[in-house]
Amino acid sequence: MKTFIKKFQKKDKDNQVREDEVPLMMSYKDLEVCLLETKKEYQVLRSAAKDELGVKNLLNQEIEVTKALKLLWEETAANTSKYHLRMMGYDISDEGSGIAIELMKSGYNEVESASYIAMVTMALDIKNAGKDMELLTSFVPHAHALLDLLKKYRDENKMNEDVWKNNSKAIFKISYLDEHTKSWIEKILTSDDSVKGLRLSNSRILRKY
């Protein structure tokens, strides 16, 4: 279990997470491997137990340890996605935390899940801006900064190439105001049933709607 926890975050000599180099956390696939190893370890312990009570206690312990590991992974997944989303200019919502966890279970890492949430939130905010051109154009600097940050993540191998291309293209299309903007917004907001109608995060940039 100690080895498992150490895989979550790399720390410096003062036992503090380095903010300038936050590493990627354990993937869900690696978590599943860890849980399988834990199960095997407890099977060995139970086979060596001398009585039925010992077996029962070890089984209960395995259940509690497995539950704790899963909860720790989910909490870390939500927190690391929250960290990167703040770097992108957003504060994650409770619904967004749940989506971040599900995205990471599907194979995304925390940077990719954060970029997806940022993309969906920007699409929703631009849609809510309606036809207010002053408000609509206020999204352009944020979109450019976000695209620069995503490229930085890609260059640091913190984003899959295809995920980076897809999310960057979508962010560019919804912030570049033309006749295709509306269709791109609807595509983003309706392509995934799990996020329809949800406010996944809130912009840290104050705008008057």
Domains: count for the chain:
1
- pLDDT for position 23: 61
User: CB within 8 A of 42, min separation 6: which ones?
Assistant: 58, 59, 61, 62, 65
Which residue is associated with the tokens 């590493």? 23
Cα–Cα nearest to 4, from 83, 70, 50: 70
Which residue is associated with the tokens 């009570």? 53
d(CA 82, CA 1): 24
User: CB within 8 A of 159, min separation 6: which ones?
Assistant: 109, 111, 112, 115, 150, 153
d(CA 33, CA 74): 16
Residue 209 included in any domain: no
Cα–Cα nearest to 175, from 150, 138, 134: 138
Residue 19 included in any domain: no
- pLDDT for position 53: 93
- pLDDT for position 39: 94
DSSP H/E element including 2: helix 2-6
CB of 88 within 8 A of CB of 115?
yes
Residue 20 included in any domain: no
Side chain identity at residue 134, one-letter code: E
d(CA 140, CA 120): 15
pLDDT per position in the chain (209 positions), as tens? 444 444 444 443 444 444 445 567 899 999 999 999 999 999 999 999 889 999 999 999 999 999 999 999 999 999 999 999 999 999 999 999 999 999 999 999 999 999 999 999 999 999 999 989 989 999 999 999 999 999 999 999 999 999 999 999 999 999 999 999 999 999 999 999 999 889 999 999 876 55
d(CA 175, CA 141): 9
**Domain encompassing residue 64:** 25-204
Residue 18 included in any domain: no
Residue 10 included in any domain: no
Residue 123 included in any domain: yes
pTM for this one? 0.85
Q: How far apart are the first and last CA of the chain?
A: 49
